[in-house]
Amino acid sequence: MEPITANGVNGQISFDGNVVRITRAGFFGRVGHGRGEKTLNVRSIGAVQIKPASALVNGFIQFSVSGESSKQSIGFGRSQDAAQDENAVIFAKKSTADFEALRDAVLAALAGGSTPAPAVDHAEQLTKLAALRDAGVITPEEFDAKKAEILERM
């Protein structure tokens, strides 16, 4: 996938299919968040909210990130709150199409991407299996058969 980039009032966002990069540049970007870049793995993004800009009011895009104590969703069309959120970028009306394309690409990646299966902890499985045997839930023969299966997968 070719990277998608959208330039806003207080930052720039680029998306390469796996990672969203929010870069702060310019006066408004540095005043609100300082210089730098924030990287969000697409699998950590829980939601994408966008408020299109109008002729009189700037719009914004906001990413809700799993596991982060994020601010509540920005509401009532208040882009002032977006200026304080490190996962949001404010944009002018002329950039609305770029930010909508960016949102669509991130949502498509979220819908199409699959989270890898968690790694199996074989030692934990054996411990649980032994506890079942000791509690009399399974027979020693069942324990031995299942243990051999688990050890084979290691």
pLDDT for 149: 85
pLDDT for 74: 47
Q: Which residues face 88 on adjacent strands?
A: 62
pLDDT for 13: 95
| Close Cβ partners of 41 (under 8 Å, ≥ 6 residues apart) | 18, 19
Please report, for the chain, the start and end positions of each structural domain, with discontinuous segments joined by +: 4-112, 122-153
pLDDT for 151: 86
pLDDT for 62: 94
Q: What's the length of the chain?
A: 154
Return the CA Rg of the chain. 23
Q: Using one digit for the tens of pLDDT, what is the confidence trace for 83-102? A: 678 899 999 999 999 999 99
0.75 cut: is pTM over it? no
- Residue whose pair of structure tokens reads 């304080």 in the numeric block: 84
pLDDT for 77: 46
- Asked whether the beta carbons of 14 and 21 are under 8 A apart, the reply is yes
Which stretches of the chain are DSSP H helices?
26-33, 79-84, 96-112, 122-134, 140-153
CATH of 4-112, one of 2.30.29, 2.170.15, 2.60.120, 3.40.50: 2.30.29
Q: What is the mean pLDDT of each run of 10 residues along the chain (154 residues)?
A: 88 94 71 71 91 92 77 49 82 94 93 59 86 91 90 78
pLDDT for 113: 61
CA 54, 57, 90, 95 torsion-angle sign: positive
pLDDT for 107: 94
